[in-house]
């Protein structure tokens, strides 16, 4: 049977084109790959190559014909041994032949898929993490700095699983630029505690590749400011591969390091990237405040089979908190924590800003306003359930963060609460955030650029009409 | 032509040694092949599968079954087939977006590949990856990456895992001569050499980075294989249009890396016959240039000539052609009749559960 040559689509958007020129004539022998015609689209002139072998039996669309629809037969190729009688019944046209609908309609690619931002309820329901385990009574609590808690978490997980290793700048011999990896080289050796050159893009990619192969890297960025050099691997390579592979291949790994403002290091070293990463499907994002949370969440992050962004804070590194002396202290990812109960106003925060919220709650109590303080701890997936339950009780919401205010975590929390608990709100949800400017160096200006306890108190009073 | 293997592999400590096979051979020219007759026949079959598969993919694109970006490997078949024959079970491959040939060469099912191109449930990524994003853990194929040169540190990361586990495996990391200008390639060269990672960097120099000829984009474009010299990585330029020559160079490079001597660079001089992607009219080169390469250097024709001269019958090769056409037609048929993914697939594979 003769084979039809169809008008090809030569770009993702082409629907029709002009058959500009035939480069072969009827009776010519054709082999696959021969250029047989030229087609003009609205963008360019393209060559059409033969896919089949044989003899050009008949040209169906004459050259110069405009508006030839994609998939219209333009010629017939005879196989070896066939003669022209096989072509009986075909007609030549100078205009596009009416396309056979059944053949020319490409397979449906448009679906009525739900375009909403969230999965259907049945899918969403499974995303909430298991509740946190109670700390057994009489458990000894040990005052520990955030720095030590992070180190202990890594050391415990490295003892537990030989596939866990850490790489980054100054993590080994220098003992960590901020001493978070102190002692790890001595315990685990240079095969598992690896100093990298200053080459964030490269080592983030190597770490991700190692995770593809099944290892469990902890990639330390000296600060997340430098992770911008590496963000393509974090997002395009680490976060998206599970989805793009249909679930075949992902990466179990942690990108960690200090995030946000330190002190007097100015614009390029003082950015909070929380909302950047929290926006990306495929990542989980954690930003703890206390040492106990830092330890329990980092241990969970290292065991988690997904790429995790673990945002620490340099100012918190040296602060001490009680950490339970348990063999395996794990905190589920995706659970906020109520740090202080109250029924007058809900203060929602994460990372270092939690300190502002707690201090503001003390000040508000003196003025007779009872504030409930929620530490989000995980920024993706967000534990909105805990926040919404609180707002249904207090009817007021203030978010507190050091990040820029535009498209921030606070923005997301305010919007979600507004849409889920609108009828419970007695005042518009309010954000307290960093100033919408690059971080200045001068001490007085830096102070102005960061949120203050006074701002949180003022916002809480404003939504309380007090 | 100057053969690429006319001297032994440089001693591992002789950092940065390079040799060059400057000229690209023409049809019928001597090949440095060490392949047996059976291996050559297998190479012919594997290259033909890629050629016919890609022609069919181009056809299905034209018919609207394949959408978006589609980068065909036609003309470059000898590179991946020659390298694949030098590998051992478990060695890994990773490449960029011109990846169909690599997937077929490592034994992935043509049906699953074609069905991914058409965005169907039976595709390797269940229709969620498409032409540029396919993977097979089973065949140690790690993608399929759409960001130019991203696969280079990722491939070194696979090699890092091999070294960490001391499993004796190597990673083949393919990238184009266009990707060779990305900064992360040199970050990777540095660490791969510093840590002696078992990785072969294969630069598929098909002479055009989209529409930019290599000489317009790369300093010292005639010797990309030498770009590892500053890091102590040996490299050589190889006639990438001859499968036997590719295989011999691959054996040398892989032996070097597997022995613990660190990375190796092979610059494969090759050519793509088609445009960069389907919507590229390829006006940056003449039709005569393309035609000349096809006539004088086509990797399949060269091997066919050699096989016939070596006593393989025309009928024998015709039988291979027929078998390949049937495989490709089956794949095309499957890719058009297999259903699209269920709508519920939109929400799966975003993150994994701990128990999974």
3-state secondary structure A66-127: EEEECCCEEEEEECCCCCHHHHCCCCCECCCCCCCHHHHCCCCCCCCCCCCCCCCHHHHHHH
Report helix, strand or coil for A351.
Answer: coil
Report helix, strand or coil for A375.
Answer: strand
Residue intervals of chain A classified under CATH 3.40.50.970 are 138-324
Q: Report whether A332 contacts A132 (CB < 8 A).
A: yes
**Closest alpha carbon to B353 in A247, A279, A304, A164:** A304
Partner-chain residue, chosen from A11, A202, A212, that has the shortest CB–CB distance to B158: A212
A98-107, Cβ contacts within 8 angstroms, sequence gap of 24 or more:
A99/A69, A99/A71, A99/A72, A103/A71, A104/A69, A104/A70, A104/A71, A104/A72, A106/A71, A106/B63, A106/B64, A106/B65, A107/B64, A107/B65, A107/B118, A107/B336, A107/B340
Listed in sequence order, the residues at least 6 apart from B97 whose beta carbon sits closer than 8 Å to its beta carbon are B69, B71, B131, B132, B144, B145, B146, B148
pLDDT in tens, chain A (466 residues): 788 888 888 776 778 889 999 999 998 998 877 889 988 877 777 888 887 788 999 999 999 999 999 889 999 988 877 777 777 777 776 644 444 444 444 443 333 333 445 655 444 444 456 777 788 889 999 999 999 999 999 999 999 999 999 999 999 999 999 999 999 999 999 999 999 999 999 999 999 999 999 999 999 999 999 999 999 999 999 999 999 999 999 999 999 999 999 999 999 999 999 999 999 999 999 999 999 999 999 999 999 999 999 999 999 999 999 999 999 999 999 999 999 999 999 999 999 999 999 999 999 999 999 999 999 999 999 999 999 999 999 999 999 999 999 999 999 999 999 999 999 999 999 999 999 999 999 999 999 999 999 999 999 999 999 8
Helix or strand (DSSP H, E) at B208: strand B208-209
Report helix, strand or coil for A195.
Answer: strand
Neighbour-count burial for B172-189, b at 16+ CB within 10 Å, e otherwise: bbbbbbbbbbbebbbbbb
Task: Kindly indicate the confidence band of residue B7, based on its pLDDT and cuts at 50, 70 and 90.
Answer: very low
Neighbour-count burial for A130-154, b at 16+ CB within 10 Å, e otherwise: eeeeeeeeeeeeeebbbbbbbbbbb
* Whole-number pLDDT of residue B8: 35
Task: Report chain A's mean pLDDT, rounded to a whole number.
Answer: 90
Burial of A349 from C-beta contacts in 10 A (0-12 / 13-18 / 19+): buried
Residue intervals of chain A classified under CATH 2.40.50.100 are 3-100
CB contact (8 A) between residue A246 and residue B349: yes
Residue intervals of chain A classified under CATH 3.40.50.920 are 337-463
**Closest alpha carbon to A261 in A253, A272, A252, A250:** A272
What is A397-459 written as a DSSP string? EEEE-SS-STT-HHHHHHHHHHHHHGGG-SS--EEE---SSPPPSSHHHHHHHS--HHHHHHH
- The model's pLDDT over B297-350, given as tens digits with 9 standing for 90+, comes to 999 999 999 999 999 999 999 999 999 999 999 999 999 999 999 999 999 999
- Does the pLDDT at position B25 exceed 70? no
Listed in sequence order, the residues at least 6 apart from A310 whose beta carbon sits closer than 8 Å to its beta carbon are A254, A255, A256, A257, A286, A297, A298, A301
For domain A3-100, give its CATH number from 3.40.50.360, 3.90.1150.10, 2.40.440.10, 2.40.50.100: 2.40.50.100
Helix or strand (DSSP H, E) at A253: strand A253-258
Which domains are present in chain B?
37-209+227-330 (3.40.50.970)
- In the beta sheet, which residues pair with residue B199? B171
* Whole-number pLDDT of residue A134: 80
Active site residue A201: no
Q: Look up residue A298 and give its two tokens.
A: 């980092």
Architecture of domain A337-463: 3-Layer(aba) Sandwich (3.40)
- Does the pLDDT at position B189 exceed 80? yes
- Does the pLDDT at position B4 exceed 60? no
- Does the pLDDT at position B13 exceed 50? no
- Does the pLDDT at position B31 exceed 90? no
Can you tell me the distance from the alpha carbon of A393 to that of B107, in angstroms, rounded to the nearest whole number?
60
DSSP A202: H
CB contact (8 A) between residue B279 and residue A206: no
Partner-chain residue, chosen from B52, B183, B354, that has the shortest CB–CB distance to A201: B183
* Whole-number pLDDT of residue A2: 83
Task: Kindly indicate the confidence band of residue B1, based on its pLDDT and cuts at 50, 70 and 90.
Answer: very low
Question: Which residues in chain B touch residue A7, judged by CB atoms under 8 angstroms apart?
Answer: 62
Pairing verdict, β A35-40 and A73-78:
unpaired
Compute CA distances B308 → A57, B52, B301, B311, whole Å: 31, 20, 10, 5
What number of C-beta contacts closer than 8 Å exist between A and B?
222
Q: Report whether A55 contacts A30 (CB < 8 A).
A: yes
Shortest Cα–Cα distance, A199 to chain B (Å): 6
- The model's pLDDT over A244-283, given as tens digits with 9 standing for 90+, comes to 999 999 999 999 999 999 999 999 999 999 999 999 999 9
The region, left, alpha or beta by phi > 0 then psi within -120 to 50, assigned to residue A437 is beta
Listed in sequence order, the residues at least 6 apart from A160 whose beta carbon sits closer than 8 Å to its beta carbon are none
Spot the catalytic one: A156, A200, A220, A314.
Answer: A200
- The model's pLDDT over A55-80, given as tens digits with 9 standing for 90+, comes to 999 999 999 999 999 889 999 988 87
Please compute, for residue B140, the number of CA atoms within 13 A of its CA located in the half-sphere on the CB side. Answer: 20
Task: Report chain B's mean pLDDT, rounded to a whole number.
Answer: 91
Question: Which residues in chain A touch residue B351, judged by CB atoms under 8 angstroms apart?
Answer: 242, 282, 284, 306
**Closest alpha carbon to B87 in B242, B244, B250:** B250
Q: Look up residue A326 and give its two tokens.
A: 């348990």
CB contact (8 A) between residue A71 and residue B55: no
Fold topology of A138-324: Rossmann fold (3.40.50)
Active site residue A200: yes
CB contact (8 A) between residue A284 and residue B351: yes
The mean pLDDT value for B175-189 works out to 97
């Amino acid at each position: 049977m003769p084979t039809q040559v169809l008008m090809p689509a030569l770009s993702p958007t082409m629907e029709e084109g002009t058959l500009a020129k035939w480069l072969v004539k009827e009776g010519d022998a054709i082999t696959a790959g021969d250029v047989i015609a030229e087609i003009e689209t609205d963008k360019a002139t393209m060559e059409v190559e033969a896919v089949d072998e044989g003899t050009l039996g008949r040209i169906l669309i004459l050259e110069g014909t405009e508006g030839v629809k994609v998939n219209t037969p333009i010629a017939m190729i005879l196989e070896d041994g066939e003669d022209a009688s096989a072509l009986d019944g075909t007609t030549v046209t100078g205009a596009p032949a009416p396309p056979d609908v059944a053949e020319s309609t490409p397979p449906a690619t448009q679906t009525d898929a739900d375009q909403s931002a969230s999965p259907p309820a049945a899918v969403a329901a499974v995303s909430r993490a298991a509740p946190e385990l109670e700390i057994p009574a009489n458990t000894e609590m040990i005052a520990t700095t955030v720095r030590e808690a992070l180190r202990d978490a890594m050391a415990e997980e490295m003892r537990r699983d030989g596939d866990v290793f850490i790489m980054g700048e100054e993590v080994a011999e220098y003992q960590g630029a901020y001493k978070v990896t102190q002692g790890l080289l001595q315990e685990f050796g240079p095969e598992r505690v690896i100093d990298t050159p200053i080459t964030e893009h490269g080592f983030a990619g190597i770490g991700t590749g190692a995770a593809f192969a099944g290892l469990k890297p902890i990639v330390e960025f000296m600060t997340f400011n430098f992770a911008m050099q590496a963000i393509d691997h974090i997002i395009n390579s680490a976060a998206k591969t599970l989805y793009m592979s249909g679930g075949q291949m992902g990466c179990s790994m942690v990108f960690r390091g200090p995030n946000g403002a330190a002190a007097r290091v100015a614009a390029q070293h003082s950015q909070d990237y929380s909302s950047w990463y929290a926006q990306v499907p495929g990542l989980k994002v954690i930003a703890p405040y206390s040492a106990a949370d830092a330890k329990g969440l980092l241990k969970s992050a290292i065991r988690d089979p997904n790429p995790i962004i673990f945002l620490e804070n340099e100012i918190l590194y040296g602060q001490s908190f009680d950490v339970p002396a348990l063999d395996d202290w794990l905190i589920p990812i995706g659970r906020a924590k109520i740090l202080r109960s109250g029924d007058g106003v809900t203060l929602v925060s994460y990372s270092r800003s939690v300190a502002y919220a707690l201090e503001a709650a003390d000040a508000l109590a003196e003025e007779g306003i009872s504030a409930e303080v929620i530490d989000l701890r995980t920024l993706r997936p967000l534990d909105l359930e805990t926040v919404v339950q609180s707002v249904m009780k207090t009817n007021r919401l203030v978010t507190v963060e050091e990040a820029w205010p535009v498209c921030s975590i606070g923005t997301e929390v305010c919007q979600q609460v507004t849409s889920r608990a609108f009828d419970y709100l007695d005042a518009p949800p309010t954000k307290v955030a960093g100033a919408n400017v690059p971080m200045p160096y001068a001490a007085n200006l830096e102070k102005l650029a960061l949120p203050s306890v006074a701002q949180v108190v003022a916002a809480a009073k404003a939504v309380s009409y007090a | 032509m100057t053969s690429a293997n006319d001297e032994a592999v440089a001693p591992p400590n002789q950092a940065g040694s390079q040799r060059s096979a400057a000229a690209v051979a023409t049809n019928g020219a001597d090949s440095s092949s060490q392949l047996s007759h059976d291996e050559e026949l297998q190479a012919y079959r594997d290259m033909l599968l890629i050629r016919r598969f890609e022609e069919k993919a181009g056809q299905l694109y034209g018919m609207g079954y394949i959408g978006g970006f589609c980068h065909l490997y036609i003309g470059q078949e000898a590179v991946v087939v020659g390298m694949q024959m030098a590998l051992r079970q478990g060695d890994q491959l990773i490449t960029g977006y011109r990846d169909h040939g690599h997937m077929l060469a490592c034994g992935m099912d043509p049906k699953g590949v074609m069905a991914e191109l058409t965005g169907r449930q039976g595709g390797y990524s269940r229709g969620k990856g498409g032409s540029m994003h396919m993977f097979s853990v089973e065949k140690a194929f790690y993608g399929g990456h759409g960001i130019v040169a991203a696969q280079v540190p990722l491939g070194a990361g696979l090699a890092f895992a091999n070294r960490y586990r001391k499993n004796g495996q190597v990673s083949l990391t393919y990238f184009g001569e266009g990707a060779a200008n990305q900064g992360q390639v040199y970050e990777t060269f540095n660490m791969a050499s510093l840590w002696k990672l078992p990785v072969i960097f294969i630069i598929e120099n098909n002479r055009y980075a989209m529409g930019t000829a290599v000489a317009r984009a790369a300093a010292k474009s005639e010797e990309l294989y030498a770009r590892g010299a500053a890091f102590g990585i040996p490299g050589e330029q190889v006639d990438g249009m001859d499968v036997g020559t590719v295989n011999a160079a691959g054996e040398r490079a892989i032996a070097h890396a597997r022995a613990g001597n660190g990375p190796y660079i092979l610059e494969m001089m090759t050519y793509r016959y088609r445009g960069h992607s389907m919507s590229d009219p390829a006006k940056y080169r003449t039709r005569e240039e393309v035609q000349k390469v096809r006539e004088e250097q086509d990797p399949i024709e060269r091997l066919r000539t050699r096989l016939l001269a070596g006593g393989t019958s025309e009928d024998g090769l015709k039988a291979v052609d027929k078998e390949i056409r049937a495989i490709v037609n089956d794949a095309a048929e499957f890719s058009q009749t297999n259903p699209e993914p269920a709508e519920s697939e939109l929400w799966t594979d975003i993150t994994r559960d701990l128990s999974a």
